[in-house]
Chains A and B, each alone.
Chain A
Amino acid sequence: MTAPRPMTTTLLDAVRDAVAGVPDPELPPVTLGMLGMIHDVTVGDGGDVRIELLPTFAGCPATEIMERDVVEAVGAVPGAGRVEVRFRFDPPWTPDRIDATGRERLREFGIAPPGGATGAPTADGRVTLPLMLGPASDPRPCPYCGSSDTVRESNFGPTPCRDVRFCEGCQQPFEAFKA
């Protein structure tokens, strides 16, 4: 992108902020920006907006709600025209895209965040899936007491993105974001 006009840059920033601030419908303390779901945002000359999102889990029923919420949030930005939302699968969304703030919010919400690298990979071309190489059972500290004496009880939890663990330290079950 070469020397965009200042007006457009301002609108683009406002649209980006609006998209990034949309909360996850099932985990409201976490936003789409924190989850690293935003691949690209472009604003055309007439103010038309095109947003490319990376869906998290294929079976996530919240995806459609996110799309609707993004359209509403961007529609409220002064100067924004038609809003188009597209989902793409390359690069694939992986939990390592969740940023540091998102991880801390998940933990506060009682969901152990994934380990691994923080921050979204750059959007230039296909990325490898670093977390795919490890076992799905990677150990997680308890989000309540911080103990590392925890076990995974089930691969499957209340949503496609979470599994179920148990903390031997505080004797509490807890959920972990899949990685």
Chain B
Amino acid sequence: MSAATDIAFTPPELSTPRSQLLLVLADDELVTGHRASHWTGVAPSLEEDMAFSSIAQDEINHADLWYQVLIGLEVSGHAQRAAVDALGLGRAPDEYRHAIACERPPRDFAFTLARHWAYDRFDAVRLASLTTSSDEDVAAVAGKLQFEERYHLEHADQWFTRLTAGGDEALGRFREGLAVALPEALGLAEPFEGEDEAIETGLLPVSHPDLGARWLEIVAPLLAAADLDDLVPDEVPDEASGGRLGRHTTDFTEDVWPEMTGLYRAHPGARW
């Protein structure tokens, strides 16, 4: 029932620069959300269980919103839901455009917090730049998400302060987490296919490599202030590179992807 506004709908062409950008934005959030959900029920405290469960819910819905923008906001009702599900859950693993950093398992809580901080610091830089996109829908949604992501960033920053000011074990384990998460996070700053064109049209106001440089300008002083200068990353490791072009590790192809798409594949066209 609902709005009775379902319109005839052709699946979107995914090879355009606009589609590729929106897949990058959505897939980063979708996979980050799924990994956050792996703390539900098993986080080290009730507050953190709620935090990561809420973050999971937020990020997966932010992915939903970016898929809606990709499809076109004029598509609504069941047509929209079906198209969003097809994008989020109906693609082959090599069609996803998230950075490999997002698909890494939570490992221990220290690594999770390190990756959370690296990712949300990057996300904040990227959303801020996207609010000036020449695409009105991209700019509007970026502004909306910026508002919501503040809560995630604050949470990540609080843990950064707490652990870097903590005792030897807290600092040691967080340092180990950052040493892996930070270089891998540079994979977030790799360009997608057609990025040059997206920059020319103003769709993407700042290139991913430049966003990476801006991210470093922010995280490097924070690391230095915590006596962690040696952890400022300079290069993405080969094994964490290529997510933007559809290259993924078994952490995605044999873990996140089968789990996240299982129900959708078992019941094609199911509605809930």
Contacts and interface: CB of A to CB of B under 8 A. Distances in A.
Given A88-B73, A129-B147, A160 B58 contact: yes
Contacts of B58: 57-59, 160
Interface stretch (B59-67, B107-115, B188-196, B203-211): B59-67
B150 interface: yes
Given A67-B3, A68-B1, A85-B2, A160 B54 contact: yes
A91 to B, nearest CB: 8
B144 interface: yes
Given A92-B147, A129-B147, A136-B151, A84 B3 contact: yes
A7 interface: no
A136 B154 contact: yes
Contacts, number: 100
A155 B51 contact: yes
A85 B150 CA distance: 29
A94 B57 CA distance: 19
B51 A156 contact: yes
B133 to A, nearest CB: 12
Nearest to A156: B54
A139 B136 CA distance: 34
Nearest to B158: A155
Which applies to chain B's interface (DSSP): helix, strand, loop or mixed? helix
**Is the interface on chain A under 10, 10 to 19, 20 to 34, or 35 or more residues?**
20 to 34
Nearest to A163: B151
Contact of A156 (B3, B55, B136): B55
A58 B2 contact: no
Interface residues of B, number: 36
B125 interface: no
Which applies to chain A's interface (DSSP): helix, strand, loop or mixed? loop
A119 B139 CA distance: 24
Contacts of B154: 135-137, 155
Contacts of B62: 58-59
B3 A57 contact: no
Interface of B: 1-5, 47, 50-51, 53-55, 57-58, 60-62, 64-65, 73, 76, 136-137, 139-141, 143-148, 150-152, 154-155
By Cβ-Cβ distance, the 8 closest A-B pairs, closest first, are A90-B140, A59-B61, A156-B54, A89-B140, A92-B144, A59-B58, A156-B51, A58-B61
15 contacts: A57-B148, A58-B148, A59-B58, A67-B2, A71-B2, A83-B3, A84-B5, A86-B73, A88-B73, A92-B143, A94-B147, A129-B147, A136-B154, A160-B58, A160-B148
Interface of A: 57-60, 67-68, 71, 82-90, 92-94, 126, 129, 132, 135-137, 153-157, 160, 163, 178
Given A57-B58, A86-B5, A156-B51, 20 more contacts: A58-B58, A58-B148, A60-B61, A67-B2, A68-B1, A71-B1, A85-B3, A86-B3, A86-B76, A89-B140, A89-B143, A90-B137, A90-B143, A154-B51, A155-B151, A155-B154, A155-B155, A156-B155, A157-B54, A163-B151
